[in-house]
Amino acid sequence: MVVVDVAVDKWSTKMKIKKVNLKISGMHCQTCALLINKSLTKSKGIASANVNYSTEKASVEYNPTLINEKGILLKIKNRGYSARILGFDNKSSGNQLSEQKKDEFEKKKELKELRNKVIFSSIFAFPALILGMFFMKNPIPFQDYIMWFLATPIQFYIGKQFYQGAWAALKNKTSNMDTLISMGTSAAYFYSVFVVLLSESGHQYFEASAVLITLVILGKYLEAIAKGRTSEAISKLMKIGAKTATVIKDKKEIKIPIDDVVTGDIILVKPGEKVPVDGIIVSGYSSIDESMVTGESIPVSKKKNDEVIGSTINKQGSFTFKATKVGAETTLSRIIKLIEEAQTKKAPIQRFADNISSYFVPFVLMTALVTFTVWISLIHAELSFAVTAAIAVLVIACPCALGLATPTAIMVGTGKGAKAGILIKGGDALETAHKLKYIIFDKTGTITKGKPEVTDVVIFNDGNNKSKITQKEFMQIAGSIENSSEHPLAESIVKKAKSSKVKFKKVTNFKAITGKGVQAKIGKSEYFLGNLKLIKDKTSVTNAKIKKIITKVTELESEAKTVMILAEKKNILGIIAVADELKNSSAKAISNLKKLGLIPYMITGDNKNTAKAIAKKVGIENYFAEVLPEDKANYVKKLQKGKGRNKGTKNYVAMVGDGINDAPALAQADIGIAMGSGTDVAMESGNIVLMRNDLLDVAKAIKLSKMTMAKVKQNMFWALFYNTLGIPIAAGVLYSFTGWLLNPMVAGGAMALSSVSVISNSLLLKRKRL
């Protein structure tokens, strides 16, 4: 269970908020989800609730001092639904798999029950349909009683769930799809009973109620099958985990269950086996298939001190590694948790559908009443005619199609992204990503490989320099200083110094100066290593001396090299230049983003000359140079506000970074895109995580967002169009012109198919290429 420290206005106090994930059973439509959501959010002690009808799950944040998990479950039960705790957060990977198996078992059980109901209902409904449609003049003795007999078990056994759902809604002072179905079929059934017992001229509609319930149950069955397919990405991830591990203890190989592995265990992995958990190789080497995490089909070479990811497949060679993350902390477990939470989060557009759904059923009930009243009172139609029109209105309306429009598309979209190594943290991220105008790239480790190397060492000598030194001495000083630094460029200087076979000296008074460089003492001498800003601010080197190196500095920077100056308090000792190679995919990635209509920017702490050179190489016209890490977020804000933009509008901005130094900018951006092969920070920062660390996936993520939102809008359109068109036709608006009145059975079939069509349209997203 996750504990977050937040301030909740609801109780005007700072408190510890806990989060629990629930599996909810008994929801029949989107209105049910809205009812549970409303009930929970109004309860004392609950900070927020997010109930998803499509996934049949809920995420609830609550104050444990005011309400506990049992209290939350009880509140759901009191509303007529059942729930159980999922709680993936602190579970081991084995328990997580067990949870998934339980979920799959429940889905299979539900499918089996629905299938049996469809079969049972069809056995009775089919002969009723034949008698009602083809023997309308009752040539068979006691035909009406036979149809009454056929319709009764369907109405009260198969239709029991609709009565239960309607009653639960009534107790909660609301209405749902069950209300429409139960009222519509009951009207047809009991009107038919009235005709058989008390009327000699009326026409019964037993076949209508029987076939209608059968079609709705069939629709539920098809919907359950389709919904299962939308979440298959998680099921597949659950199943790929290793079941056992070979642990080395007392120089013996012992095979143990995956749940018994603990941090620090030394584990042996042989060719063809799965890596059990996350860890670091301590001996041996191999190539590992990491496609399940990154989507990259080419095996990755691994050697000592390299990280390995649990559930990836060892292709060649044996190796031993030290377990660093086990259970729910492994990369695979966190990916599964991330996808689960993403599919629970609602996109902002879903609020529009929820608002419509909350008013939809009362509107349909009122429309059915008005339809009946108008036909009876104003047009003076026969009672059977008015009843038929009212029933058709009740059963053709489908709030489910509207409720499924957004979540099904998001489930398929996030699942498709996961297969490609693109983890999207919710529908809100998907919806925002397709609105992006600007996209900012951090330079180091994002556009470049993040592994700079020393390219030039220039010793400064103006003839009067009393501190003239050799190149080896220069590298000894620079290497000694940078050996204490954590800056990305420091490693390359230390590596160069070691290759020069120098012995590092003891460094004291080391101080890193953000955005400028470092200063330190070696013996009694104080040194400064950094950019021109550092030399100007911290030393007393004359402008005349600085001018003498400007030409060389500018020349190196024009070659996209980062230049650092080594100086004493009064003298410049020399220049060291470092270059970071571009990633092979950078230029292509920028080109792809431009084709999608985005305007790319680059942001870096490097000087303008270096920034300009790198930006030009990858095709970026706009860049921000000499930016301090803490100021990156301000540049994101600057683009969000824009220049001369229309009032009331907003520029949507994405930030692409490594998720470590760029955390504030990632948080400020409308969409934070974190690069990294499943690192802790990358998993937590940003709205989208690119597991392959490949810039080409940035465009793929945005393209996926656009495709998913297109599906959402298509689904919303068809759901609204269907109801807008279907309800007036069912009410008999076209009868005066065509003489045609919609049969309730046809209306029921159309209602059932509308939900299935929305889900099927979402599933088409799987076939799209990124």
**Could you give the residue numbers annotated as active site?**
442
Q: What is the residue type of 599?
A: I
Structure tokens at 425: 């943290």
Other C-beta atoms lying within 10 Å of the C-beta of residue 225: 15
Question: Structure tokens of 256?
Answer: 């143990």
Angle at the Cα of 322 (from 319 to 328), degrees rounded to 5?
Answer: 115
Residue ranges with strand state E in 231-386: 244-249, 252-257, 266-269, 278-284, 286-289, 300-302, 307-308, 313-316, 319-325
Q: How far apart are CA 75 and CA 62, in angstroms?
A: 13
Tokens, residue 27:
């929801």
* Dist. CA 93–CA 405, nearest whole Å: 32
Rounded Cα–Cα distance for residues 452 and 580 (Å)? 4
Q: Which two tokens stand for residue 579?
A: 């270059």
Cα dist from 398 to 97, 210, 394, 405, 727, whole Å = 35, 19, 9, 12, 10
- The Cα-based distances of 333 to 63, 106, 336 in angstroms read 26, 22, 5
CB atoms within 10 A of CB 462: 12
Exposed / middle / buried, residue 284 (Cβ in 10 Å: 0-12, 13-18, 19+) = middle
Q: Output the CA torsion 137→142→145→151 (10° steps).
A: -60
Amino acid at 618: V
Sign of the dihedral defined by the CA atoms of residues 436, 442, 446, 448, in that order: positive
d(CA 309, CA 300): 11
DSSP labels, 283-303: EE-EEEE-HHHH---S-EEE-
Say how far apart CA 257 and CA 246 lie, in whole Å: 9
CA angle 590/596/598 to nearest 5° reads 65
Closest CA to 538 of 513, 503, 573, 574: 513
What's the distance, Cα to Cα, between the start and end of the chain in Å? 35
513: which strand partners?
517
C-beta of residue 422 within 8 angstroms of C-beta of residue 688: yes
